[in-house]
């Protein structure tokens, strides 16, 4: 049986526990340093707390140490990884090959998508040098994933939801080049979400003030079954900067989708324990989103850009029909509530927002009518009712338990076992007092032992094996039940199997002999690693030695020409075409390699 993992983001301990409660099989969280989201680091104590909680459900915790590292940081990183292994971390996610030159504990190492995981050759190399998992590039199609799976047995993880980096991960130097922080050091300023003017090579303006590099958000919820068949075993939700309500809603949505597939499958099974009972209907359109795209999962077929705004649109409602000075109407199946936030693009394609003050039988009275026109498309980007449901949700995740009360020769024993075959027992320290009312006594025993309170357990069955009905004070049964469920929690942690995996140094050849600055080499251990694996020529990374003259600061499969309907396709003997992008401070050259279907941004 192939275990299918739903992997959710954890900004912090609260977010991580929430993700697990709402159905995640694993979470990924950043240490307070060396993570690709520098703004959301966590201490070792906080990570330890999350690990213990996750392991109660047989869920896993992966810790990100996925920035490039300078020489003076290597000793500290090695000590941190040792500590994380001691705390029970299930894997360390890395970007820097220099880490593999360290004296590492036997903790599984995952290759971050920043390591250019987009072809079979690179993935085979990762497998042969000891990585347990490759986090694949978002740009891959189903066909490409199948090709990778056919040539490697390494565990494969793939992004299925959330914000998209427009650039190949690890190959974006835009933010660093304009001196606003390095993406490879966890400090990206997201210049891809800024607006630019676009001109052709003759200087003619094509568009002004558009978010030329801003893609929509990824949503592959309709491709989960195909991705499983292609070889993906871990489905990743992006969002370590997102709030806890986003984590609740999106995790719940994918939990239900995956469970629906698993229920009718004989080859796949869930990767953790427990059953989640939701008290709301999840809908990712009601959380932060810029509109959705399937990106390149079916190849380059549809437009994926969000040229007019990098902000959240939310859920599309409908078009403005009747319009007066004070109210408007739209045709929608959604229920609108006072306090909802709505937005629309005005006639100049500027995104404007308004607050709904009153819904009077379909007559919508907003706080402002400015810019509204008949036919305007209305979105709801703040759903008052949904937000309340998420904030007050009583969604629970419970592990099924069977309780048995039985007699030994001189004692009464309480025994519990859970769905994962963990088992424990205790002796109830009380006299054997025959009950005056046997039926009532048995009813009391069953009732008290069926409870589980606010524990992680749900008692599905109570078995009473007594020679005669005995009287127990309710307090005795309650205390015994509380103690034995605490014992069962401890037993679950004791029996949790942390996978181990050692990196054994070898000289398996790297797919390339010469490396440019895009290899992101900024420490001598990384140099030693590449040389041992046959690289004969290398250049230090952008963050250590910025290239002189014009610099390629972004390599992307996303293409501005295609998004604008200007793509001429592949041509025999075609030369690279160019356009220019301007942000009023700097000028950037867009170089189009049409035969390779790639675009480069040059500063």
DSSP string, 581-594: EE-SS-EEEEEEET
For residue 595, the model assigns a pLDDT of 85
260 shares a domain with 157? yes
Q: Is residue 538 part of a domain?
A: no
Question: pLDDT of 469-492, one tens digit each?
Answer: 999 999 999 999 999 999 999 999
Tell me which of 366, 391, 416 is where a domain ends. 391
Helix (H, G, I), strand (E, B) or coil at 182: coil
45 shares a domain with 124? yes
pLDDT, average across residues 494-523: 95
pLDDT, average across residues 81-103: 98
- The helix (H) or strand (E) run that includes residue 475 is helix 474-495
CA dist 178 and 553 (Å) reads 10
CA dist 232 and 57 (Å) reads 22
Q: Give Dmax over CA atoms of the chain in angstroms.
A: 100
Q: Is residue 187 part of a domain?
A: no
222 shares a domain with 122? yes
CATH code, 333: 2.40.10.170
Contact 219, 292 (CB under 8 A): yes
CA dist 50 and 44 (Å) reads 10
Question: Edge-to-edge strand order for the sheet containing 587-593?
Answer: 205-210, 196-200, 577-582, 587-593, 598-602, 552-556
Q: How does residue 575 score in pLDDT terms, banded at 50, 70 and 90?
A: low
Q: What percentage of residues in the chain have a pLDDT greater than 70?
A: 99
Per the structure, the complete domain to which residue 489 belongs is given by 400-493
Q: Provide the token pair at 226.
A: 């195909």
475 shares a domain with 362? no
422 shares a domain with 278? no
Strand partners, 205: 199
Reported in sequence order, the residue ranges of 217-278 that DSSP labels E, i.e. its strands, are 217-219, 234-237, 268-270, 275-277
DSSP 3-state percent helix, strand, coil across the chain (nearest 5): 30, 30, 45
Pairing relation of β-strands 275-277 and 292-293? unpaired
Nearest CA among 310, 300, 134, 339 for reference residue 215 = 310
Helix (H, G, I), strand (E, B) or coil at 353: strand
Contact 84, 45 (CB under 8 A): no
Tell me which of 460, 493, 526 is where a domain ends. 493
Contact 311, 285 (CB under 8 A): no
Interhelix angle 384-391/244-263, rounded to 10 degrees, is 80
Q: Is residue 58 part of a domain?
A: yes
260 shares a domain with 356? no
479 shares a domain with 440? yes
Q: Is residue 116 part of a domain?
A: yes
Q: How does residue 87 score in pLDDT terms, banded at 50, 70 and 90?
A: very high
Q: Residue 179, by phi and psi: left (phi above 0), alpha (psi -120 to 50) or beta? A: left
406 shares a domain with 382? no
Q: Is residue 474 part of a domain?
A: yes
Residue 572 has pLDDT above 70, yes or no: no
Residue 573 has pLDDT above 70, yes or no: no
Q: How does residue 178 score in pLDDT terms, banded at 50, 70 and 90?
A: very high
Q: How does the average pLDDT of the chain come out, rounded?
A: 95
The residues near 332 (Cβ < 8 Å, ≥ 6 apart) are 317, 318, 378
Q: Is residue 505 part of a domain?
A: no
Q: Provide the token pair at 68.
A: 């490039």
Q: Is residue 599 part of a domain?
A: no
251 shares a domain with 143? yes
HSE-CB of 558 using CA atoms within 13 angstroms: 27
Q: Is residue 153 part of a domain?
A: yes
Tell me which of 358, 391, 424 is where a domain ends. 391
322 shares a domain with 261? no
According to DSSP H, which parts of 12-98 are helical? Answer: 13-21, 44-56, 74-87
344 shares a domain with 467? no
Query: pTM for this structure?
Result: 0.96
Contact 426, 414 (CB under 8 A): yes
Pairing relation of β-strands 552-556 and 217-219? unpaired
For residue 586, the model assigns a pLDDT of 93
CATH code, 70: 3.20.20.70
Contact 312, 242 (CB under 8 A): no
342 shares a domain with 486? no
Domains of the chain: total: 3
Reported in sequence order, the residue ranges of 443-557 that DSSP labels E, i.e. its strands, are 457-465, 514-515, 537-538, 552-556
Question: pLDDT of 392-416, one tens digit each?
Answer: 999 999 999 999 999 988 899 999 9
For residue 235, the model assigns a pLDDT of 98
pLDDT, average across residues 269-278: 97
């Amino acid at each position: 049986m192939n275990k299918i993992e739903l992997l959710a983001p954890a900004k912090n301990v609260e977010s991580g526990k929430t993700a697990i409660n709402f159905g995640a099989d694993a979470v990924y969280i950043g240490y307070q340093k060396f993570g690709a989201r520098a703004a959301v680091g966590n201490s070792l104590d906080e990570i330890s707390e999350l690990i213990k909680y996750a392991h109660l459900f047989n869920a896993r915790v992966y810790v990100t140490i996925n920035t490039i590292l300078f020489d003076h940081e290597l000793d500290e990183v090695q000590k941190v990884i040792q500590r994380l292994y001691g705390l029970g971390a299930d894997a360390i996610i890395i970007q820097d090959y220099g880490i593999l030159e360290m004296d590492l504990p036997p903790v599984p190492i995952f290759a971050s998508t920043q390591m250019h995981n987009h072809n079979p050759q690179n993935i085979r190399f990762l497998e042969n040098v000891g990585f347990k998992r490759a986090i694949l590039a978002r740009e891959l199609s189903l066909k490409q994933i199948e090709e990778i799976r056919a040539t490697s047995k390494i565990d494969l993880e793939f992004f299925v939801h959330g914000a998209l980096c427009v650039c190949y991960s690890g190959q974006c130097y835009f933010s660093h080049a304009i001196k606003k922080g390095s993406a490879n050091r966890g400090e990206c300023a997201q210049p891809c979400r800024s607006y630019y003017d676009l001109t052709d090579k003759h200087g003619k303006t094509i568009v002004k003030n558009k978010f030329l590099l801003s893609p929509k958000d990824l949503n592959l919820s309709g491709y989960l079954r195909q991705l499983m068949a292609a070889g993906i075993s871990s489905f990743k939700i992006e969002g370590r900067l997102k709030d806890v309500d986003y984590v609740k809603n999106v995790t719940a949505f994918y939990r239900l989708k995956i469970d629906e597939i698993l229920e009718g499958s004989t080859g796949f099974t869930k990767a953790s324990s427990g059953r989640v009972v939701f008290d709301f209907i999840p809908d990712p359109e009601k959380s932060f989103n810029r509109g959705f795209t399937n990106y390149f999962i079916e190849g380059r077929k549809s437009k994926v850009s969000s040229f007019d705004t990098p902000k959240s649109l939310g859920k599309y409602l409908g078009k403005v029909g009747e319009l007066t000075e004070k109210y408007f109407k739209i045709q929608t199946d959604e229920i609108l509530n006072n306090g909802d936030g709505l937005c629309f693009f005005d006639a100049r394609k500027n995104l404007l927002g308004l607050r709904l003050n009153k819904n009077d039988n379909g007559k919508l009275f907003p706080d402002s009518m400015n810019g509204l026109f008949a036919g305007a498309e209305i979105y709801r980007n703040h759903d008052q009712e949904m937000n309340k449901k998420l904030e007050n949700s009583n969604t629970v995740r419970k592990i099924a338990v069977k309780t048995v009360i039985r007699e030994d020769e001189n004692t009464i024993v309480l025994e519990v076992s859970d769905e994962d075959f963990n088992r424990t027992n205790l002796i109830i320290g009380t006299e054997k007092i025959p009950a005056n009312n046997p039926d009532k006594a048995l009813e009391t025993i069953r009732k008290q032992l069926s409870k589980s309170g606010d524990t992680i357990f749900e008692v599905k069955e109570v078995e009473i094996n007594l020679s005669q009905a005995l009287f127990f004070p309710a307090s005795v049964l309650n205390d015994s039940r509380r103690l034995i469920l605490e014992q069962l929690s401890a037993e679950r942690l004791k029996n949790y199997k942390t996978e181990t995996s050692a990196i054994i140094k070898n000289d398996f050849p790297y797919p390339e002999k010469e490396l440019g600055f895009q290899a992101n080499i900024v420490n001598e251990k990384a140099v030693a690693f590449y040389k041992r694996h046959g690289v004969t020529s290398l250049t230090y990374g952008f963050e250590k030695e910025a290239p002189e003259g014009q610099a390629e600061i972004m390599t992307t499969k996303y293409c501005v020409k295609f998004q604008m309907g200007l793509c001429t396709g592949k041509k025999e003997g075609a030369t690279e075409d160019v356009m220019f992008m301007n942000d009023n401070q700097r000028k950037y050259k867009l170089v189009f390699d049409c035969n390779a279907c790639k675009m480069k941004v040059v500063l």
